[in-house]
Structure 1
């Protein structure tokens, strides 16, 4: 069934589909980066494809190739039961930059995946609602999954955060696209134990500490 998706892409986008591959039921299309967003939207909206599930997105570095970087997207149709791998190639060797359109407006779940790819590979996703580092700290220099990143590179020193009280908790809309509310966090709430909601909240929680050990003594008959 996935081969029908490849044929639908070729029919709709023609030369923008640079290459297709089919191996053991895994269908792959390599596409023009200028059509990346349009092709992704087609895969979700066209009833023949119905790719309503975003699975994964990542970047791959090929330092000896031009364009240098590859963006890889995995999609699945829960309705049709088929899947596809979509690839595009980006990167300006002279400027040492790589850009492609964000697909977060199509699949909200791509938000953090694009941020991670930007953070570790330096690929910029145009139109992303909040493109910033997600694993490395803001002062980090460079992108550590690039093949030419020096393993012995010294990073700038930053203030060491010690103790949970110095870590700012997530705000109610932190990390969620389009300002959706995720949760309200109150460390002093009596229903919270070690930062997690107690499974059986009650007015009086037992004092924290090690659980009492059960006696293994054998009763005399």
Structure 2
């Protein structure tokens, strides 16, 4: 199974859903419309592509882009062919919500909870969406790039050293 084959299969089935395609380090990476993401993942799992293992779900924050400020990244794997694919989908920060994948992959349960915990992204239909790693009364989502990384009184370090 090749990147070209999988891309052609996805674009044939969902011609309007793929917004951007890239292959960093050889891994097929697709940006998918938020409203079509679950349909695409469902197709990948149940079609002849047999991409049936959810490796990872994580969030991402791009504060410089208000239209695509928060995103969710899914890493999926076909174990038989050893084929991996990365799917990304983005939304505005206000009311950031995606459909849960827990009904497709049981492993999504804790990974979606972690993404909610650290980024504040909600997953509609999730069976138990609550904080799992931070304290419940923390009051903020620590992975959002809204907070300084270092003490402002320090002169030996600044946020530029951390890629900001």
Name the TM-score, length of structure 2 as normaliser.
0.85
Aligned to 2:112: 114
Superposition misfits of 4+ residues, deviation over 4 angstroms: none
1:139 shift after superposition: 1.4
Choose 1 or 2 for highest CA Rg: 1
Pick one of 89, 96, 103 that aligns with 1:98.
Answer: 96
Aligned to 2:11: 10
Aligned to 2:23: 22
Distance in 2 (alpha carbons) for counterparts of 1:23 and 1:55: 17
Q: Which runs of 5+ in 1 are unaligned?
A: 153-221
1:123 shift after superposition: 0.4
Report the aligned-residue RMSD.
Answer: 1.5
3-state secondary structure, aligned to 1:148: coil
Aligned to 2:160: none
Higher share of residues assigned strand = 2
Q: Which runs of 5+ in 2 are unaligned?
A: 151-164
Is 2:128 the partner of 1:127?
Answer: no
- String of CA shifts for 1:118-173, please: whole Å, max 9, x gaps: 00000001111100001012112010110013569xxxxxxxxxxxxxxxxxxxxx
Larger relative contact order (CA 8 Å, sep ≥ 6): 2
